[in-house]
Amino acid sequence: MNLFRPSRRGLLGGSLLGSLFGITAARAQSGPAHGGSAHSGASRTHAPGVMMTVGEVDNAANGFDPHDILTDWDTGTTRVDADGRTVRTFEVTAEDKEIEIAPGIYFPAWTYNGRVPGPTLRATEGERLRIVFRNHGSMPHTMHFHGIHGASMDGILGAGEVEPGGEFIYEFNAFPFGCHLYHCHSVPLKRHIHKGLYGTFIIDPDPARHPDAVEVARSRLLGSPENMRWQEMVMVMNGFDTNFDEENEVYAVNTIAHAYAKKPIVIDRDRPVRIYLVNVTEFDPINSFHLHANFFDYYDHGTTLTPTLRTVDTIMQCQAQRGIIEISFAGFEPGRYMFHAHQSEFVELGWMSFFEVRA
Angle in degrees, CA 145, 147, 151, rounded to 5: 75
Q: Which class in CATH covers the domain with range 8-69+229-358?
A: mainly beta
Instruction: State pTM to two decimals.
Output: 0.90
- Where in the chain do CATH 2.60.40.420 domains reside? 8-69+229-358, 74-227
Sign of CA dihedral 172, 179, 282, 284: negative
Residues 6+ apart with CB under 8 A from 55: 103, 104
Fold that domain 74-227 belongs to in CATH: Immunoglobulin-like (2.60.40)
- Ordered per-residue pLDDT tens for the chain, 359 residues: 444 444 443 444 333 334 455 534 333 333 333 333 445 545 455 555 567 899 999 999 999 999 999 999 999 999 999 999 999 999 999 999 999 999 999 999 999 999 999 999 999 999 999 999 999 999 999 999 999 999 999 999 999 999 999 999 999 999 999 999 999 999 999 999 999 999 999 999 999 999 999 999 999 999 999 999 999 999 999 999 999 999 999 999 999 999 999 999 999 999 999 999 999 999 999 999 999 999 999 999 999 999 999 999 999 999 999 999 999 999 999 999 999 999 999 999 999 999 999 99
Q: Can you spell out the DSSP letters for 26-70?
A: PPP---PPSSSSTTS-------TTEEEE-S---HHHHT--HHHHT
Question: Do residues 78 and 119 make contact, with C-beta atoms less than 8 angstroms apart?
Answer: no
Residues 6+ apart with CB under 8 A from 64: 114, 115, 116, 255
Give 75-128 pLDDT, tens digit per residue.
999 999 999 999 999 999 999 999 999 999 999 999 999 999 999 999 999 999
Q: What was the pLDDT predicted at 256?
A: 99
Q: What was the pLDDT predicted at 246?
A: 96
What is the Cα 229 distance to its own chain's centre?
21
Give 315-336 pLDDT, tens digit per residue.
999 999 999 999 999 999 999 9
d(CA 330, CA 328): 6
